[in-house]
């Protein structure tokens, strides 16, 4: 029998006592894909009238809503990499969706584990490779599927029957009920695919909003005349680029010959239908077939066709959101039932914003407000004043240090974000940032949004599409929809000089030495050809 010295026994017993009495808060991090703040009722956007998110709104009414929450790079994988590391894309090495995340690097889940937290992630990772730093994990391969999806587990790949949002919620609930270590704080990351393209709702939501019209965004028919030229040769318009069959499910069935249609088209909805059960397909077609028939009979053209496409898209997007909203309600109910609610921080956010017809678009990527802004709602019982709204500038860069701060763990000096814990307690540090830095890299690629970097202050925004050496500048106080590019307006000349200096300061502060050189004129013409 092995014997221990009295001193060692004392240390071991003390460690056990601390572990048993660990009262640090648990964290439930609910993270969605492409959920724009203006598609959340609590954010008071133009979609509030259709009551899209009753459970998330309740979370906000009992916690704190961040009005000025932004991403550093508006695209799925890079946003997740920033959250994992607390570092900008150029520092964590995951700059676009084609990259592979280096899981061997420092991440906040690894640091939480060292600090005594149990960690788990279920759902969409989108960083490739097997997650590190988690005691329990099951993740979707790539984007994953809405119906009967595959999952990657430590033991191999599995397929689960059902709707993805519900399945991921089931996994999270199972963790709370059966897998968490009693007496040990936990970080549970619940990461949904929804409402990512192709916006496939749960069967129970197929008729949601069927009898109403979704309000149109004021900028649905934006003509981009005042923007820099890249806004006119992108590929994310509802009018020209949203596919009637693959994006809007018109006449889409298992028998639809998707392979016969050529071009750069997202066919994931059609491929997902290949694995739908007969019963699922029957219910799906029962909902869409009558609407398809009415569309064909209407013979719509021009703006009327755009309006129809918007309605079809917006309803399916919001139907997908409703599944996520129900997940939030179910998770909170489970925390209540298990007696965990009073000591659990619940956070709701998404990887970036999204265009729901704003400027006539769908997708994200741009530094314009609709895709730059992220929802960020935090409920912390006993700490946050219910119904609080914070207007400080925060970014997904700040999540990692915030989680570490909550856990009482040291925050490494190389983390570039700041803990928002003081903000959650109602106190803004005197040295809190007055501007945020943004850099988008994925070009040439899907949707053809050029590379650009920029700065946003409380009032102004400056963007540089550097390959083409074009600039945009907006006064957000007077032009919140960013319809008037003021870069060449002499009245703002001195202000633009000041904001450019701030942009240079931020690039130096975050040590961004990325190549931002201007392309030769011939190469610029090559990528603009036929677009304008």
Domain ranges within the chain, ordered by starting residue: 22-200+320-425, 439-528
- Residue 176 DSSP label: I
Q: Spell out where 312-458 has E strands.
A: 344-350, 376-379, 388-390, 394-395, 435-440, 452-457
Q: How high is the pLDDT of residue 499? A: 98
Whether 363 has a pLDDT exceeding 60, the answer reads: yes
Q: What is the pLDDT confidence band of residue 15, given thresholds at 50, 70 and 90?
A: very low
CATH code for the structural domain at 439-528: 3.30.1120.10
Number of neighbouring beta carbons within 10 Å of residue 448: 18
Q: What are phi and psi of 518, to 5 degrees?
A: -80, 135
Whether 105 has a pLDDT exceeding 50, the answer reads: yes
Residue 326 to residue 318: CA distance in whole angstroms: 12
| Mean pLDDT confidence for 131-156 | 97
| Mean pLDDT confidence for 138-159 | 97
Residue 100 to residue 81: CA distance in whole angstroms: 10
| Mean pLDDT confidence for 167-189 | 97
Q: How high is the pLDDT of residue 4? A: 52
- Reading the block at residue 264, the tokens are 């750069």
Whether 416 has a pLDDT exceeding 50, the answer reads: yes
- Residue 235 DSSP label: S
Q: How high is the pLDDT of residue 264? A: 82
- Reading the block at residue 86, the tokens are 């607390």
Number of neighbouring beta carbons within 10 Å of residue 290: 11
Q: What is the pLDDT confidence band of residue 288, given thresholds at 50, 70 and 90?
A: very high
- Residue 360 DSSP label: G
- Reading the block at residue 64, the tokens are 């704190």
Number of neighbouring beta carbons within 10 Å of residue 480: 10
Asked whether 95 and 366 are in contact (CB, 8 A), the reply is: no
- pLDDT tens-digit map of 208-228: 999 999 999 999 999 999 999
CATH code for the structural domain at 22-200+320-425: 3.40.720.10
Q: How high is the pLDDT of residue 154? A: 97
- Reading the block at residue 339, the tokens are 């007696």
- Range list of H helices, 366-451: 369-372, 399-406, 421-424
Q: Which residues contact 21 (CB under 8 A, 6 or more apart)?
A: 183
Q: What is the pLDDT confidence band of residue 263, given thresholds at 50, 70 and 90?
A: confident
Radius of gyration of the chain (CA): 24
Residue 136 to residue 151: CA distance in whole angstroms: 13
Asked whether 148 and 158 are in contact (CB, 8 A), the reply is: no
| Mean pLDDT confidence for 96-102 | 94
Q: How high is the pLDDT of residue 528? A: 78
Q: 3-state DSSP call for residue 491? A: helix
| Mean pLDDT confidence for 99-125 | 97
Q: How high is the pLDDT of residue 525? A: 87
Whether 140 has a pLDDT exceeding 80, the answer reads: yes
- pLDDT tens-digit map of 293-304: 999 999 999 999
- pLDDT tens-digit map of 48-69: 999 999 999 999 999 999 999 9
More confident call, 5 vs 220: 220
C-alpha dist (Å) from residue 397 to 59, 70, 510: 22, 9, 11
Q: Which residues pair with 119 in a beta bridge?
A: 187
Whether 16 has a pLDDT exceeding 50, the answer reads: no
Q: How high is the pLDDT of residue 10? A: 44
Residue of 313, 296, 246 lying closest to 273 (CA atoms): 246
Q: How high is the pLDDT of residue 409? A: 98
- 234 burial (CB, 10 Å; 0-12 / 13-18 / 19+) is buried
Q: How high is the pLDDT of residue 458? A: 98
- pLDDT tens-digit map of 322-344: 999 999 999 999 999 999 999 99
Q: What is the average pLDDT score of the chain?
A: 95
- Flag the least confident range among 45-59, 255-269, 491-505: 255-269
- Reading the block at residue 394, the tokens are 């925060």
What percent of the chain has a predicted confidence (pLDDT) above 90? 93
| CB contact burial 67-100 (16+ within 10 A = b; e otherwise) | ebbbbbbbbbbbbbbbbbbbbbbbbbebbbbebe
**HEC-encoded secondary structure of 69-101:** EECCCCCHHHHHHHHHHCCCHHHHCCCCCCCCC
Whether 12 has a pLDDT exceeding 80, the answer reads: no
* Cα-based torsion angle of the residue sequence 123, 127, 132, 135 in order, rounded to the nearest 10 degrees: 0
Residue 412 to residue 359: CA distance in whole angstroms: 41
Whether 19 has a pLDDT exceeding 50, the answer reads: no
pTM of the entire predicted model: 0.95
3-state DSSP helix/strand/coil percent for the chain, to nearest 5?
Answer: 35, 15, 45
């Amino acid at each position: 029998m092995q014997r221990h010295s009295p001193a060692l026994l004392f240390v071991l017993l003390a460690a056990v006592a601390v572990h048993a009495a660990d009262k640090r808060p648990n964290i439930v991090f609910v993270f969605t894909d492409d959920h724009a703040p203006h598609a959340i009722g609590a954010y008071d956007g133009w979609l509030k009238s259709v009551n899209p998110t009753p459970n998330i709104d309740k979370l906000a009414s009992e916690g704190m809503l961040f009005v000025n929450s932004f991403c550093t790079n508006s695209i799925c994988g890079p946003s997740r990499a920033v959250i994992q590391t607390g570092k900008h894309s150029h520092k964590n090495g995951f700059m676009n969706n084609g990259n592979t995340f280096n899981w061997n690097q420092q991440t906040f889940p690894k640091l939480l584990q060292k600090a005594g937290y149990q960690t788990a992630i279920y759902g969409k990772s989108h960083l490739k490779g097997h997650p590190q730093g988690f005691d329990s994990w099951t993740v979707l391969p790539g984007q994953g599927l809405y119906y009967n999806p595959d999952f990657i587990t430590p033991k191999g790949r599995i397929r689960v029957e059902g709707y993805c949002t519900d399945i991921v919620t089931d996994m999270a609930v199972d963790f709370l009920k059966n897998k968490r270590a009693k007496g040990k704080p936990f970080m549970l990351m619940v990461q949904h695919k929804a409402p990512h393209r192709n916006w496939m709702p749960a069967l129970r939501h197929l008729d949601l909003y069927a009898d109403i019209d979704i309000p149109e965004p004021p900028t649905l028919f934006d003509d981009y005349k005042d923007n820099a030229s890249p806004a006119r040769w992108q590929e994310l318009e509802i009018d020209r680029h949203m596919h009637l069959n693959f994006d809007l499910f018109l006449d889409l069935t298992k028998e639809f010959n998707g392979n016969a249609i050529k071009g750069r088209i997202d066919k994931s909805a059609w491929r997902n239908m290949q694995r739908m059960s007969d019963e699922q397909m029957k219910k799906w077609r029962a909902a869409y077939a009558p609407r398809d028939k009415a569309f064909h009979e209407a013979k719509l053209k021009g703006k009327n066709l755009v309006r129809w496409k918007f309605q079809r898209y917006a309803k399916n997007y919001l139907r997908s959101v409703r599944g996520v909203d129900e997940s939030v309600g179910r998770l909170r109910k489970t925390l209540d039932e298990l007696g965990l609610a009073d000591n659990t921080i619940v956070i709701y956010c998404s990887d970036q914003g999204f265009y729901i017809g704003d400027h006539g678009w769908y997708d994200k990527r741009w530094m314009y407000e609709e895709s730059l802004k992220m929802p960020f709602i935090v409920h912390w019982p006993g700490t946050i004043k219910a119904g609080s709204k914070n207007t400080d500038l925060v970014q997904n860069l700040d999540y990692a240090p915030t989680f570490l701060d909550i856990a009482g763990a040291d925050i490494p000096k190389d983390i570039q974000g700041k803990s928002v814990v003081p903000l959650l307690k109602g106190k803004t540090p005197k040295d809190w940032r007055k501007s945020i830095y943004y850099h988008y890299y994925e070009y040439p690629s899907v949707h053809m949004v050029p590379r650009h970097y920029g700065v946003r202050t409380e009032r102004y925004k400056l963007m540089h599409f550097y390959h083409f050496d074009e600039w945009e500048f907006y006064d957000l106080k007077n032009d919140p929809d960013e319809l008037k590019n003021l870069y060449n307006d002499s009245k703002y000349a001195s202000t633009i000089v000041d904001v450019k200096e701030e942009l240079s300061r931020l690039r130096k502060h975050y040590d961004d030495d990325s190549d931002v050189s201007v392309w030769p004129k011939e190469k610029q013409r090559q990528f603009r050809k036929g677009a304008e």
